[in-house]
Amino acid sequence: MSTSRQPQLTPAPPAPSEGAGSGLAWVLVNEQGLRAGWAILLAYCIYYFFRLVAGTIFFSLGLVSDHIDYEPTAMLIVEAIPFLAMLATGFIMAAIEHHRILDYNLTGPRPLLHAASGFCAGLVALSTLIFILRLGGWLRFGPSALAGGAALRYAALWFCAYLLVASTEEGLFRCYLQFTLNRGINFWWALLAQAGLCAYAFFNTSRDGAMGVYATAAMGFFPCLILYQKLAARSAFWQASWVSSTFFGLVHTFNGGENSRGIFAASCIGLVFCVSIRVTGSVWWAIGCHTAWDWAETYIYGAADSGLPAQGHLLSVAPTGNSSLSGGADGPEGSLFAIAAVLLLLALVLIVHGRRNAAHNQVTEQD
């Protein structure tokens, strides 16, 4: 890691807004500008508006239809819709909040190196999970599905599709949401947000999927409470990580084939991605890792990704035996062993980048 000064994770407050001290203005703004909760609500309203507009345009042009095959060309076009909506939202919110779009956890030293490091970590972790399942007899390999030029073409198409997926999801959860929560949250606001997410899961998702959301909310309760009691002024990042990771898991309940174990694993991976922001200073490691995990799961091994079986993959695998161990229809991330892969990801980011970050901080303090 470069010895240049680490980027500030807590956003610098803009100039105080006039009239922020009383009346309705006090409810909407503070010394940092638009309050975090209102900013997030506005951002997601803008996002869904642009997503609706872009989707309507794509549908009118015949680029997408009501039925979408899970193959790379169709996925690439479909995923362009939320990606464009996310970019438009980012630029608008940056203008409103007097930021650069790169301020949303996109600055930091060596972005390409961090993205490449994350990509390698994602490949290693997913491949380790596949190896464990194969070794235990919970995953069966079939014949190779592609060869030659077709294999290269599908590799490139799936990579581009999942790069869009990773960029969109990281942009929404670890860029804007994490950054904005970080400037306006404490334990009690985080707890209220968790209650809202769990209530939504209870009324709007299957019982199995909701259990994964509940597990994530429960997992973070005592660590975040202790951090708030011990380090209240410096615990906002972890309170924000608790909320953004639970929300990340909740969104995965919308995938038809997910189970509670897959939802919990997705939330835990989201937490690891938050840790990567803390130790690298940006979201690029998370984008690389996210891309590699989905790409390897879908293209290299041909496994279901969040319950979605793909067309056009290099190898082919099928779950066998106990679905709690094999992952069943959810895919490998629905296995109990997925947590081992998540812990491996955490170890990799801390070992590779955590030590460098600690060394950098020591040099900075000596200077």
Name the pLDDT band for 22 (thresholds 50, 70, 90).
low
66-94 pLDDT per residue, tens:
777 789 999 999 999 999 999 999 999 99
- SS3 letters for 267-300? HHHHHHHHHHHHHHCCCHHHHHHHHHHHHHHHHH
Nearest to 9 by CA among 190, 182, 177: 182
For range 327-346, the mean pLDDT: 94
Q: What share of the chain has pLDDT > 90, as a percent?
A: 75
Q: How many angstroms separate the CA atoms of 264 and 261, rounded?
A: 5
Strands annotated E in the chain: 29-30, 33-34, 139-141, 317-319
Contacts of 278 (CB under 8 A, 6+ apart): 9, 237
Highest mean pLDDT among 34-38, 141-145, 170-174, 311-315: 170-174
The predicted structure's pLDDT at residue 100: 94
Q: pLDDT at position 9, please?
A: 47
86-140 pLDDT, tens digit each? 999 999 999 999 999 999 999 989 999 999 999 999 999 999 999 999 999 999 9
- Of 55-59, 157-161, 311-315, least confident by mean pLDDT is 311-315
For residues 328-350, average pLDDT: 95
More confident residue, 146 or 347: 347
Q: Which pLDDT band, with edges at 50, 70 and 90, does 248 fall under?
A: very high
Does pLDDT of 363 surpass 50? no
The predicted pLDDT at position 356 comes to 62
pLDDT at 21: 52
When mean pLDDT is compared over 11-20, 63-72, 142-151, 158-167, the highest value belongs to 158-167
Task: Provide the mean pLDDT of the chain.
Answer: 89
> Confidence class of residue 1 from pLDDT cuts 50, 70 and 90?
very low
Q: Which residue has the higher pLDDT, 25 or 285?
A: 285
**What pLDDT sits at residue 278?**
96
Phi, psi at residue 317, to the nearest 5°? -135, 155
Beta bridge pairs of residue 162: none
Does position 202 have pLDDT exceeding 90, yes or no?
A: yes
* Confidence check: pLDDT of 167 > 90: yes
CA distances from 193 to 93, 199, 232, 246, 278 (A): 22, 10, 18, 10, 22
| Alpha carbons 91 and 297: distance in angstroms, whole number | 32
Please name which of 124, 90, 103 lies closest in space to residue 281, comparing C-alpha atoms. Answer: 103
Res 366 pLDDT > 50: no
Please say if the pLDDT value at position 5 is more than 50.
no
Q: Cα Rg for the chain, rounded, in angstroms?
A: 21
Which amino acid, one-letter code, is at 106? L
Inform me whether the pLDDT recorded for 6 exceeds 70: no
Report pLDDT for 25: 79
DSSP 5: P
